[in-house]
């Protein structure tokens, strides 16, 4: 017997779909996006974590946390600062 599968369209924000309140879902999504962009930049840079840490003005342990996706250790403002230091453009858009 085949089971029926119910598909629910995504809202476009996985955190909202998981049941987080809208204000938290937006921040979590932004943090996730920045962490992914930074992790890709780190991977593609060819530098050591220590060299990356110097450029981002942080410690090697923080770079390791970032690469390992420990999102709970990074506030949005810290990730924005790191992205700017890495040369990753950041822009906040407010929809009316």
pLDDT of the residue at 95: 76
> Using an 8 Å Cβ cutoff, are 37 and 6 in contact?
no
Question: What whole-number distance in Å separates Cα of residue 28 and Cα of residue 46?
Answer: 28
Question: Is the confidence at residue 1, as pLDDT, over 70?
Answer: no
Question: What whole-number distance in Å separates Cα of residue 25 and Cα of residue 14?
Answer: 8
Question: Is the confidence at residue 2, as pLDDT, over 70?
Answer: yes
Question: Is the confidence at residue 71, as pLDDT, over 90?
Answer: no
Question: Is the confidence at residue 80, as pLDDT, over 90?
Answer: yes
Question: Is the confidence at residue 82, as pLDDT, over 70?
Answer: yes
The per-residue pLDDT for range 14-66, each reduced to its tens digit, is: 999 999 999 999 999 999 999 999 999 999 999 999 999 999 999 999 999 99
Which domains, ranges and CATH numbers included, belong to the chain? 15-86 (1.10.260.40)
Residue with tokens 């949005």: 76
């Amino acid at each position: 017997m085949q089971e029926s599968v119910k598909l629910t369209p995504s809202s476009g924000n996985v955190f909202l779909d998981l049941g987080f309140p809208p204000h938290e879902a937006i921040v979590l999504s932004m943090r996730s996006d920045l962490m992914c962009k930074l992790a890709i930049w780190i991977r593609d840079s060819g530098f050591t974590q220590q060299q990356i840490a110097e450029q981002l003005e942080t410690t090697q342990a923080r770079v390791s946390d970032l690469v390992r996706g420990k999102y709970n250790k990074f506030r949005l403002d810290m990730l924005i600062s790191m992205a700017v230091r890495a040369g990753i453009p950041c822009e906040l858009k407010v929809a009316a």
